[in-house]
Chain A
Amino acid sequence: MKHKSFFWFVLPSSIAMLLFIFFPILSVLLQSVFTEHEQVIKEVRNCGPFGCQTTTSIDQEATAALREAEPLGRFVGLGVYFDRGHLALSEVSQLWRESAGLGAFFDRLLNLPFYKAIAFTLTYTFVVTPLTIVLGFVIAVAVNSAARAIRGPLIFVSLLPFIITPLVGSLVLFWMLDARGIIGSAMQVLADDPDLSVKASTPLMWTMLMVYGVWHSAPFAFIVYYAGLQTVNQDTLEAAMVDGASRWERIRYVVIPHLLPITTFIALIQLMDNFRVFEPIVSFSAQAHATSLSWAIYNDLSGETRQLSSAAATSFLTIIGVAILLSPVIVRTYRDFTRK
């Protein structure tokens, strides 16, 4: 394709992404290397319906002068990236020097917010992604083997976990999993432990978040695989049968290679989405037990005083994380592309 026609074809899409993704990313990058000015604090006397108090406030006049001088704020370089809320370089090296052994080191490392978040984020990503792919595949095979007449409703039902607004979907599940909810009660009976409570224990909470993650995104993998199964070449399958290939061999040498590109696509999207896990942590009020990078951004932005630089730095660390995570898939795509 000629450069010129390529340009015109991708123009609308590029403008949209440039305006609403690229420029904001640049401003986020700036935000992460600049922090707010030194705030000049003065003592003030405040009065209100509950009486008077001496407290402090920002001296707006003095701060305004600072703002004028440097409209972007103080340049701190990678300072925010390395502070305690993020990579915590000095804290980590101090821990390294002080800790008795590796175990103690990791134990205390997980006390730092970034490492605590990344521990759950990575566990979640690497558990949920493969399970989603496997579950989606099995559902696709099962639906594909069902009678034609009921496939439509089956597809709809299978898509339900993906369709219901997570806001309410997780609210319902949250109640169900409560110690007195229907699933919670059932688990107590099954485990023969009347005090069992999912929400009170960190390992169970992690498990529940991951089960929810698989449940919620399996429909995506399912629909993609289901479609892929429709295109498996019948002739090749029959030929393989004639050659005496067993059922397993046919799946191994015909079906799976056919579905491999699809798997790459699902893995790409799922790795990225799972790395950005956020909604279930908020909906299940799970932050005492599990935090993630995206949750950390949300937490920075939703306090009474919003920490924009901190959120910006975490966002960039997320992008870097995604890039590392996807690099094998990207390399594969590159090979495919150059072969074209």
Chain B
Amino acid sequence: MASKAFRKPLPLQALLIFFLVVWVVMAAFPFLWTVWGSFKVEGDFFSKADWANAIFGTRTRAETGDLFTGQGYYGAWVQEEFWRAALNTLIVCAATVMISLTFGTLGAYALSRSTYRYAFWFLIIALIFRAMPPITLVSGYLPVFFDWNLWGHLPTAIIVLVAINQPFTLWMLHSFFNNIPKDLDESAMVDGCTRFQAFRHVIVPVMWPGVITTALFSFLLAYNDFAITALVLSKENQTMVPKIASFLGTTQTKGNVMFAVAAVVSVTAPLFVMIMFFQRQIVSGLTAGAVKG
């Protein structure tokens, strides 16, 4: 990186640093604000009277006697047993990521190696499938799921998420496999391997960077999904996002917004660890060409 080609003139460097600072503030400020506010009461978090209350904790002090309160966290995790939802989310995300990548790598590998025109149309049809708004799909599933007694179970939600996630996974992994030289697996086949053996012994060892990058996006999709999990899972199998939505109240009744805020803040910590852990792979994955078309 010490290459002269990358040394920038001072004004440009300053400009970039300035931009970076602005962006970091933009990206992090709402989150930091949420973290700060999660230790307040609702009257301060949504301080309609004066926004400065959110900083000085006027209502928090009046209602709890302290500047900070853990009520939101206590309510979410202990009273409402948010850990159940967190556990369900963990199961759903892990399973979704693993299954979509298994299906996705197999399919995308074949798509990248086939020279027939149907492979192209396969990709295009997958893309068109992705255009379908998920809420319309879900309303089509419900009667069938109820009829066949599939409704409410975690595996149902997982397989639906896998299916909806397939087009994106296929596209991303397809471009990645395109960048793995064909000679690798073809020479293995010349040596007498079957197509699957070539895939298993030659391609699998070199595909991890791309797979991990795709995994991140699959994970985030399953993690943030609301449209499907809210309607397909029963109460005891509820995942985090619908649980958070249930804290927000309805037209006729008041909710516990601070539970939702505390819940959101507390689940960001594991994500931070995860990204720190995988950031090198994420980048090297894309580097290896996941998206080079």
Contacts and interface: CB of A to CB of B under 8 A. Distances in A.
**Are these two chains actual partners, yes or no?**
yes
A223 B282 contact: yes
B4 A20 contact: no
B159 interface: yes
A10 B120 CA distance: 13
Contacts of A272: 127, 130-131
Nearest to B126: A17
A39 interface: no
A145 B8 contact: yes
Contacts of B92: none
Size range of the interface on A? 35 or more
A318 interface: yes
Interface in B22-71: 23-24, 26-28, 30-31, 33-34, 37, 45-51, 54
Contacts of A72: none
Contacts of A94: none
Contacts of B4: 238, 241
B201 interface: no
A168 interface: yes
B163 interface: yes
A153 B54 CA distance: 27
A79 interface: no
A226 B286 CA distance: 9
Given A168-B34, A311-B136, A10 B111 contact: yes
Interface residues of B, number: 107
Contacts of B119: 6, 337
Nearest to A222: B23
B131 A318 contact: yes
B146 interface: no
Contact of B244 (A165, A230, A318, A340): A165
Interface string A247-265: 1001000000000111011
B277 to A, nearest CB: 10
A11 to B, nearest CB: 8
A223 B140 contact: no
A305 interface: no
A234 B3 contact: yes
A200 interface: no
Contact of A17 (B102, B167, B213, B289): B167
B187 interface: no
B271 A25 contact: no
A183 B272 CA distance: 26
A280 to B, nearest CB: 13
A158 interface: yes
A266 B172 CA distance: 11
Given A227-B286, A276-B133, A337 B120 contact: yes
Nearest to A321: B131
A322 B126 CA distance: 13
A228 B27 contact: no
B3 A158 contact: no
B140 A27 contact: yes
B264 A180 contact: no
B218 interface: no
B137 A269 contact: no
B30 A227 contact: no
26 contacts: A5-B195, A13-B170, A16-B166, A21-B132, A21-B167, A28-B140, A145-B6, A146-B17, A155-B275, A161-B30, A164-B34, A165-B224, A165-B264, A175-B45, A182-B33, A223-B282, A224-B286, A227-B285, A228-B287, A230-B284, A260-B293, A261-B291, A266-B291, A319-B132, A323-B131, A338-B117
Interface of B: 1, 3-6, 8-9, 13, 16-17, 19-20, 23-24, 26-28, 30-31, 33-34, 37, 45-51, 54, 102-104, 106-107, 109-111, 113-117, 119-120, 122-124, 126-133, 135-137, 139-141, 159-160, 162-164, 166-168, 170-172, 175, 195-196, 199, 213, 220, 224, 226, 240-241, 244-245, 248, 257, 260-261, 264, 268, 271-272, 275-276, 279, 282-287, 289-293
Given A21-B129, A227-B286, 10 more contacts: A27-B140, A146-B20, A155-B279, A158-B24, A168-B264, A169-B30, A171-B248, A180-B48, A237-B5, A241-B5
